[in-house]
Chains A and B, each alone.
Chain A
Amino acid sequence: MSLWQKLACVILTLVLCGSVAANWLAPAGYAKQYREATDAPPSRAHWLGTDEMGRDRFARVLYGTRISLLLAPAAALLSTLMAALIGGLAGYWGGIWARMAMAVTDLFLSLPWLFLLITARALMPLNVSPLVSVMVTFMLLGLLGWTTAARVLCTTAASLLGSDFVRQARAAGLPGQRLFWIHVVPNLKPVLYAQFWISIPVFILSEANLGILGLGVAEPMPSWGSLLKELEGLVSIGEEPWKFVPLILLVVVVTSFQVLLSKQEEMAA
Chain B
Amino acid sequence: MSDSPSTSERIRPRDRDAIIQSLRAGVVPRVGQQHIQVGRVHEVTALVTDIDRIADGGSSIRFAIGEYGAGKSFFLNLVRSIALERKLVTVHADLSPDRRLHATGGQARSLYAELMRNLATRSRPEGGAMPSVVERFVTDSLSVAASRDVAPEVVIRERLAALEELTGGYDFAQVVAAYWKGHDTGNEQLKADAVRWLRGEYSTRTDARAALGVRTIIDDATFYDHLKLFARFVRLAGFEGVLVCLDELVNLYKLANTQARNSNYEQILRILNDSLQGSAAGLGFVLGGTPEMLLDTRRGLYSYSALQSRLAENTFAGAGIVDYSGPVLRLANLSPEDLYVLLGKLRHVFAGGDPAGYLVPDDALHAFMAHCSARVGDAYFRTPRTTIKEFVNLLAALDQNPEVAWSDLIQRVELVPEQNPDLAPLDDDNGAASEPTTETTVPSATAPPPDDDDELSNLRL
Q: Do chains A and B interact in one complex? A: no
